[in-house]
Chains A and B, each alone.
Chain A
Amino acid sequence: MDWQAFEVSISLALLTCLSLFPIGLAIAYFLAKSNFVGRGFIEAIITLPLVLPPTVLGYFLLVGMDSNSFFGGVFASLTGQNLAFSFVGLWFASIIYSLPFAVQPMLRSLESIAPEIREAAWCSGLSRWKTFFKIELPLAWPGIITAMVLSFSHTLGEFGVVLMIGGNIAGETRTVSIAIYDSVLAFDHQQAQSMSFILLAIALVTITIVYTFNRKQTRVVAV
């Protein structure tokens, strides 16, 4: 069993979902509040990773992270490290790849808060920030939890993008899904099988958590 791959995958998924908490929330809050003409376009861009083939995303990331490109070059000159084929590169890619899974549930739950509640808070003298932390955030919590769990499990299951920009380096970019693929190519079906079952179990547990949590939450709201 390739535990190192699990270490890489779980670190990657945790870091991605923790990074997406502020990033996703900021984007979702901005979108929930605004109603300008280009909003549909912004939402479309955020949802793109959901519909694009991972090869397309992987190709753009590979080219963009190259140290000859602008973005990759700036990163390389700042850190002295190459972004492509590194753990940090995968982390960056996963944030983009899982962005729709974080933003969508957060946005839906923020939008479902009745404007009257917000107005009532303001009338009671709460500042915008206080309203956000004391009123909106607690009400949007189910959506945020869903967003976190989905982006975690989605990153854990990422394959195509990692295949294109990862390079299958042990301890760095060999995630579980890549290790499974590699085991199959190495004719090690036993390892592929046990790792697949573990991933299956993790996926099932996390999705079950999301559904159970969401049902409980709707009941509370209904009461």
Chain B
Amino acid sequence: MTLAQADTLHIAAAANLRFVLPELVDQFEQQTDHHVSVSYAASGTLTTQIQHGAPFEVFLSASPDYIQRLIAAKLTQGKAINYAQAQLALFAANDSPLVIEDKLHGLKQAIEQGTLGKIAIANPRHAPYGQAAESMLKEFGLWNQIQPYLLMAENASQAMQFALSTSVDAGFVPYAHIIQPQFSLVGRFVQLDVTLQQQAIALHTASVSSKQFLDFIQTAQAHELFTKHGFLVKEAS
């Protein structure tokens, strides 16, 4: 038994697509007759669900690693598509005392002075944004010292949620989230020098509409939306 429409295209999408994807879906639905339903979660969580038989047809991942895992498990069809690059950012709510800049000096200083509060990151065990934050903190030699201050969120959107709280000093969050006025007006942020390759693939259950959707996200029209939402898009040469 199912209550959903039969011709619905089910998409599993990384949490950082929360703001851009509804607009893409709107346009796609207008241009085709398909109905699209999106489930958002951390890419790792979605991968586990797909491996256990979740009926998604398209997977939009925030990291190529998970796509590779599904290809290895023979759960996909066709080639993976690099449709955009996402960016990591550091966000602090207006009442946070933390100095926010892209070399993480403020963070380092606060750790050394013992004045650091909680820092929200997505869980690196299954969230690409958490992995990106982890590798950056390791690069700056802060990963071990920051451990007691870390607040693990389920996915990148929840890390944003936590970062907005007055009891959290800052959060490693999607750049695509903080440029939304509802966040940029209530805090300070800096874009970090870390990009995440966004990859999409059709899953083994995919129908014709999935192919259409994957074609659609590579059009100039879709690229414009991605750019507007803070993603980087390489135009096909």
Task: Identify the A interface with B (CB < 8 A).
Answer: 4, 7-8, 11, 62, 65-67, 72, 82-88, 167-172, 174, 182, 184-187
Q: Classify the interface of chain A: helix, strand, loop or mixed.
A: loop
Is A185 touching B55 in the complex (CB atoms < 8 A)? no
What residues of A have a CB within 8 angstroms of the CB of B155 in the complex? Answer: 185
Q: Report 9 cross-chain contacts, Cβ distance below 8 Å, ordered by A residue.
A: A87-B2, A167-B49, A169-B55, A171-B2, A171-B3, A171-B8, A184-B161, A186-B157, A187-B160
Is A168 touching B40 in the complex (CB atoms < 8 A)? yes
Is A186 touching B37 in the complex (CB atoms < 8 A)? no
CB-based closest 4 A-B pairs? A171-B4, A85-B54, A82-B53, A170-B37
- Within the complex, the shortest CB–CB distance from A181 to chain B, in Å, comes to 9
CA distance A186 to B180 in the complex (A): 12
> Quick check: is B1 within 8 A (CB to CB) of the other chain?
yes
What residues of B have a CB within 8 angstroms of the CB of A4 in the complex? Answer: 3
> Which residue of chain B has the shortest Cβ distance to A67 in the bound complex?
B53
CA distance A62 to B49 in the complex (A): 9
| Given A185-B154, A186-B157, 18 additional A-B pairs, CB 8 A | A62-B52, A65-B52, A82-B55, A85-B55, A88-B1, A167-B49, A167-B54, A169-B4, A169-B37, A171-B4, A172-B4, A172-B55, A182-B40, A185-B18, A185-B155, A185-B158, A187-B160, A187-B182
What residues of A have a CB within 8 angstroms of the CB of B38 in the complex? Answer: 170
What residues of A have a CB within 8 angstroms of the CB of B4 in the complex? Answer: 169-172
> Which residue of chain B has the shortest Cβ distance to A76 in the bound complex?
B53
Task: Identify the B interface with A (CB < 8 A).
Answer: 1-5, 8, 10, 15, 18, 37-41, 49, 52-56, 154-155, 157-158, 160-161, 182
CA distance A168 to B155 in the complex (A): 14
> Which residue of chain A has the shortest Cβ distance to B158 in the bound complex?
A185
What residues of B have a CB within 8 angstroms of the CB of A184 in the complex? Answer: 161
CA distance A174 to B54 in the complex (A): 13
- Contacts A82-B53, A85-B52 given; does A172 touch B15 at CB 8 Å: no
> Which residue of chain A has the shortest Cβ distance to B41 in the bound complex?
A168
> Which residue of chain A has the shortest Cβ distance to B160 in the bound complex?
A187
Is B1 touching A169 in the complex (CB atoms < 8 A)? no
- Of B3, B52, B56, most A-chain CB atoms within 10 Å: B52
What residues of B have a CB within 8 angstroms of the CB of A66 in the complex? Answer: 52-53
CA distance A67 to B4 in the complex (A): 22
Is A87 touching B41 in the complex (CB atoms < 8 A)? no
What residues of B have a CB within 8 angstroms of the CB of A88 in the complex? Answer: 1
Is B1 touching A84 in the complex (CB atoms < 8 A)? no
Is A86 touching B55 in the complex (CB atoms < 8 A)? yes
Is A186 touching B52 in the complex (CB atoms < 8 A)? no
- Contacts A86-B55, A167-B54 given; does A185 touch B37 at CB 8 Å: no
CA distance A186 to B52 in the complex (A): 25
What residues of A have a CB within 8 angstroms of the CB of B52 in the complex? Answer: 62, 65-66, 84-85
What residues of A have a CB within 8 angstroms of the CB of B157 in the complex? Answer: 185-187
Is B39 touching A168 in the complex (CB atoms < 8 A)? yes
What residues of B have a CB within 8 angstroms of the CB of A187 in the complex? Answer: 18, 157, 160-161, 182
What residues of B have a CB within 8 angstroms of the CB of A86 in the complex? Answer: 2, 55
> Which residue of chain B has the shortest Cβ distance to A168 in the bound complex?
B39
What residues of B have a CB within 8 angstroms of the CB of A185 in the complex? Answer: 15, 18, 40, 154-155, 157-158, 161
What residues of A have a CB within 8 angstroms of the CB of B55 in the complex? Answer: 82, 85-86, 169, 172
- Of A8, A82, A85, A88, most B-chain CB atoms within 10 Å: A85
> Which residue of chain A has the shortest Cβ distance to B39 in the bound complex?
A168
CA distance A170 to B8 in the complex (A): 10
CA distance A82 to B203 in the complex (A): 15
Other-chain residue from A8, A83, A84 in contact with B3 (beta carbon distance below 8 A): A8
Is B49 touching A172 in the complex (CB atoms < 8 A)? no
- Within the complex, the shortest CB–CB distance from A112 to chain B, in Å, comes to 37
What residues of A have a CB within 8 angstroms of the CB of B5 in the complex? Answer: 171
CA distance A186 to B160 in the complex (A): 10
CA distance A82 to B5 in the complex (A): 17
